[in-house]
Copies of this chain bind each other. A is one copy, B any other.
Amino acid sequence: MLVRTVKEMKSLARNFKREGKSIGFVPTMGYLHEGHISLMRCSKKDNDITVVSIFVNPIQFGENEDLDRYPRDLERDLQICKDEGVDFVFYPSVDEMYPEGFSTYVEVEDLTDRLCGAFRSGHFRGVTTVVNKLFNIVQPDRAYFGEKDYQQLKVIQRMVKDLNMDVEVIGCPIVREKDGLALSSRNKYLSERERESALSLSKALFEAKKMFEKGEKNPEKIISEMKKIITSYPEVKEVQYIEIVDPETLKPKKEVERGDIIAVAVFVGNTRLIDNIKI
């Protein structure tokens, strides 16, 4: 069932809570893929009711980013939700979420200074603000986020903890194509040649993991090898970062340990792609 207003979504949520039903929530920007579907399936398994939101959140896009061309296909998204047995799709307009006079923002400091946060000023503020709103509207017991956006996951977990919100924020594994490419709605932007170069991210991450398994503990050596791999692909235009970080603080490690996160952000053509792996 398609729900377009905050009021209706809140009233539905309130009724389910009153009946003692648990609500699972999958916030998305639409253009759904197997990654989103895996989140829906987790939610369906754990909860009585599953809500998916589809909202391309303008305030998390920077001025020179891809808000206007972000891919959209509501009809296809709704069919996917239906096929997966999603109970409600919350699909608000921008005016519904940000009416005139809107001026409140939720910001996580520190964690958001690093990795993507260092390159996308204001991005995480937009994310935490909209997710805070969505949590208040949908009232989920559990919310599901993909680990591809690892920093986003940690930032949201931090927000929920700091603000004493009653939601369990669950990270689900990255879903990849057979050849290793992490699923992302932005993969749609890639030409065939760029699609080939986009493999550089996962190739470098897998190689890094291999190096660690063989005993390499020096982050500089691993990062240098990754950089070599990534920049060997012809359509790679810019490597924004390659970092090996602590899984909780996201601070760079001096010696690599099991459980650390290796994260990369790369421009392939005009498309910014991110990926990561836990080692």
- The residues of A with any CB-CB pair to B shorter than 8 Å are 6, 10, 14, 18, 20, 101-111, 128-129, 132-133, 136-137, 158-159, 162-166
Oligomeric state, in number of copies? 2
Q: Which B residues are in CB contact (< 8 Å) with A10?
A: 164, 166
Q: Do residues A103 and B162 form an inter-chain contact, with CB atoms below 8 A? A: yes
Measured CA separation A166–B163 after assembly (Å): 15
Which residues of B sit under 8 angstroms from A103, Cβ to Cβ?
108-111, 158, 162
Pick 30 A–B contacts, CB within 8 A, sort by A: A10-B166, A14-B166, A18-B20, A101-B158, A102-B162, A103-B109, A103-B110, A103-B111, A103-B158, A103-B162, A104-B106, A104-B107, A104-B108, A104-B109, A104-B128, A104-B158, A104-B159, A104-B162, A105-B107, A106-B107, A106-B163, A107-B107, A129-B163, A132-B163, A133-B163, A133-B164, A136-B163, A136-B164, A136-B166, A137-B164
Closest chain B residue to A9 by CB distance?
A: B164
Of all chain B residues, which has the CB nearest A132?
Answer: B163
Residues on the B chain within 8 Å of A110, using CB: 103
CB distance from A77 to the nearest CB of B (A): 23
Residues in chain B near residue A101, CB distance under 8 A: 158
Q: A128 contacts which chain B residues (CB < 8 A)? A: 104
* Distance of A105 Cα from B158 Cα, bound (Å): 11
When chains A and B are docked, how far (Å) is the Cα of A165 from the Cα of B164? 13
Alpha-carbon distance between A156 and B267 when the two chains are bound, in angstroms: 41
Q: Hey, which chain B residues are within 8 Å of A105, CB to CB?
A: 106-107, 109
Q: How far is the CB of A101 from chain B (nearest CB, A)?
A: 8
